[in-house]
Amino acid sequence: MRANSEIDPICGPGGTRAREVLDLVSDKWSLYVVAALGQGPLRFSQARRVVVGISQRMLTVTLRRLVRDGLISRTVTPTVPPQVTYALTETGHSLRLAVQPLIEWAFTTADDIAVARAAYDAQAEGQA
């Protein structure tokens, strides 16, 4: 049963923080960076190549945010030239695991969604 006063479990009491965390996922690049690091530690320039399409700025911003949230670690090797390595923390790894089903879903469902979109657009076109 669902009363009018019932609230979304995601947004419910105690769920505010969870919501903030989910907002982290809603960042377009966060998931990609985490997925990229899931294969092993990466240096800045490597990550830039692996996460295709990301700008330097967004990589910096995304990495810092993930470090701040304790999802990835940042290790500086004081050599010349300097070398910075990013790696998933344990928490970050748990995120990767939690996200894995979603990734797979995206792959297996991509076709269906493309079809649905085409059908919808075609119909919309017809009655426009």
Partner DNA sequence: CTGTATCCGCTGCGATACTG
Partner DNA sequence: CAGTATCGCAGCGGATACAG
Judged by the rule CB under 8 A, the positions of this chain that interact with a copy of itself are 1-2, 4, 6-11, 15, 17-28, 31-32, 35-36, 39-40, 46, 49-53, 67-71, 91, 94-95, 97-107, 109-117, 119-121
First to last CA, the chain: 39
Per rule CB under 7 A, is residue 56 in the interface with DNA? yes
Q: How far is CA 95 from CA 44, 66, 82, 83, in A?
A: 21, 11, 29, 26
By beta-carbon proximity to a copy of itself, the closer residue of 77 and 108 is 108
Kindly identify the residues of this chain, within the stretch 85-124, that bind DNA according to CB under 7 A: 85
Contact of 87 with 47, CB cutoff 8 Å: no
Contact of 73 with 84, CB cutoff 8 Å: no
Site mask for DNA (CB under 7 A), range 11-40, x = bound? ----------------xxx-----------
Nearest approach, Cβ of 4 to a copy of itself (angstroms)?
Answer: 6
Chosen from DNA, a copy of itself, none, partner binding at 32 (C-beta under 5 to 8 Å by type)? a copy of itself
Pairing mode, strands 72-77 and 42-43? unpaired
Nearest approach, Cβ of 80 to a copy of itself (angstroms)?
Answer: 21
What six digits make up the tokens of 110?
Answer: 């991509």
Query: Going edge to edge, which strands form the sheet with 42-43?
Result: 42-43, 83-88, 72-77
By beta-carbon proximity to DNA, the closer residue of 84 and 99 is 84
